[in-house]
């Protein structure tokens, strides 16, 4: 695709996003393959109370399955209204209030959402602010990090696991995931870790689930939530191979055993 054609496509998709996100429709009326409309529904459900003046634009998109399928894209919401006496920013493209990337499975009947990642002040602004402070103190113990977090007043701190589990939006997720979800575990992550070595602050609830479709498919589905308002910040579904799937080098007799 040429650069001019791609830029033209981006402008068209931005217009589509503005239209779809401003015109209401019920979930039942939305086609499974109307990915932008479903993304709009997702944003409205999981980030309630959005300012009506925010302007949505598709800023990144990829055709993963052909030129006519838009199943992987990023929607960003921008505040273009002047503040006090200041004029609108000359370049608004670097400070979205919310950015959310979506990937839908175009090959299935229900076109399930398989990846979502959200950022920006609306989704995780307070979490990011505290994480910056924690990262300034790499020698802080877990107790010190928890004390700083609790002082910031989260709704779902590490000591409020029961409240967090009761607030999990499992039923709201099902229409987008197109299957049943079983929660396996929920743990609060203070820092990202690699081979047991602590790194930058995470400050997130990590929820591991099993996803099952009506046609017998199964996958792990990991979710992350920020602790202040319980906003969902990421979702990733990873397929699980069938239990009877043959491994390289295995014979039919070994599989039957």
pLDDT (tens digit per residue) in 47-62: 998 888 888 888 877 7
* 205 in the same domain as 146: yes
Q: Which residues contact 81 (CB under 8 A, 6 or more apart)?
A: 53, 88
169-228: per-residue pLDDT in tens? 999 999 999 999 999 999 999 998 776 666 899 999 999 999 999 999 999 999 999 999
Q: Which of 104, 132, 153 is the last residue of a domain?
A: 104
Terminal CA-to-CA distance of the chain, rounded, Å?
52
pLDDT at 54: 87
Task: Judge whether 249 lies within some domain.
Answer: no
Task: Judge whether 250 lies within some domain.
Answer: no
Mean pLDDT of the chain: 82
* 130 in the same domain as 87: no
pLDDT at 98: 95
How many Å apart are CA 57 and CA 63, to the nearest integer? 17
pLDDT at 16: 42
130-169: per-residue pLDDT in tens? 999 999 999 999 999 999 999 999 999 999 999 999 999 9
Task: Judge whether 71 lies within some domain.
Answer: yes
Task: Judge whether 194 lies within some domain.
Answer: yes
pLDDT at 24: 44
Q: Look up residue 97 and give its two tokens.
A: 């209030």
Q: Which of 70, 104, 138 is the last residue of a domain?
A: 104
Contact indicator for 59, 76 with CB cutoff of 8 Å: yes
Cα of 134 vs its chain's centroid, Å: 23
Which pTM was predicted? 0.80
* 123 in the same domain as 96: no
* 156 in the same domain as 86: no
> In this model, does residue 96 exceed pLDDT 70?
yes
pLDDT at 91: 54
Q: How many domains does the chain have?
A: 2
* 124 in the same domain as 212: yes
pLDDT at 176: 97
Angle at 166 between CA 162 and CA 169, to 5 degrees: 135
Task: Judge whether 111 lies within some domain.
Answer: no
* 128 in the same domain as 50: no
* 170 in the same domain as 81: no
Contact indicator for 154, 146 with CB cutoff of 8 Å: no
Q: How confident is the model at residue 115 (pLDDT cuts 50, 70, 90)?
A: very high
* 246 vs 241 pLDDT, higher one: 241
Q: How confident is the model at residue 79 (pLDDT cuts 50, 70, 90)?
A: confident
What range does the domain containing 82 cover?
A: 3-104
Task: Judge whether 113 lies within some domain.
Answer: no
User: Which letter, b or e, does each residue of 112-122 get, where b requires 16 or more Cβ atoms within 10 Å of its Cβ?
Assistant: bbbebbbbbeb
* 127 in the same domain as 44: no
pLDDT, average across residues 25-53: 85
Cα dihedral sign for 27, 18, 9, 115? negative
Q: How confident is the model at residue 12 (pLDDT cuts 50, 70, 90)?
A: very low
Tell me how far CA of residue 249 lies from CA of 23, 240, 243, 254, 255, in angstroms. Answer: 55, 20, 16, 10, 11
């Amino acid at each position: 695709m040429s650069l001019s054609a791609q830029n033209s496509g981006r402008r068209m998709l931005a217009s589509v996003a503005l239209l779809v996100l401003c015109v209401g429709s019920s979930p039942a009326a939305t086609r499974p393959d109307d990915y932008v409309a479903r993304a709009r529904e997702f944003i409205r459900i999981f980030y309630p109370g959005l300012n009506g003046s925010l302007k949505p634009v598709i800023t990144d998109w990829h055709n993963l399955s052909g030129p006519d399928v838009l199943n992987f894209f990023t929607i960003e919401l921008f505040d273009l209204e002047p503040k006090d006496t200041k004029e609108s920013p000359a370049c608004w493209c670097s400070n979205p209030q919310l950015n959310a990337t979506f990937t839908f499975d175009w090959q299935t009947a229900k076109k399930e959402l398989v990846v979502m990642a959200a950022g920006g002040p609306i989704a995780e602004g307070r979490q990011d602010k505290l994480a910056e402070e924690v990262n300034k103190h790499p020698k802080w113990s877990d107790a010190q990090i928890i004390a700083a977090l609790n002082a910031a007043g989260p709704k779902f701190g590490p000591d409020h696991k029961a409240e967090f589990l009761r607030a999990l939006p499992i039923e709201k997720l099902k229409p987008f995931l197109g299957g049943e979800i079983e929660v396996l575990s929920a743990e609060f992550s203070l820092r990202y870790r690699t081979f047991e070595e602590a790194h930058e602050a995470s400050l997130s609830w990590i929820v591991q689930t099993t996803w099952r479709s009506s046609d017998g498919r199964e996958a792990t589905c990991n979710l992350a939530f920020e602790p202040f308002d319980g906003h969902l910040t990421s979702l990733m579904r990873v397929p699980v191979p069938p239990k009877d799937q043959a491994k390289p080098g295995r014979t039919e007799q070994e599989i039957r055993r």
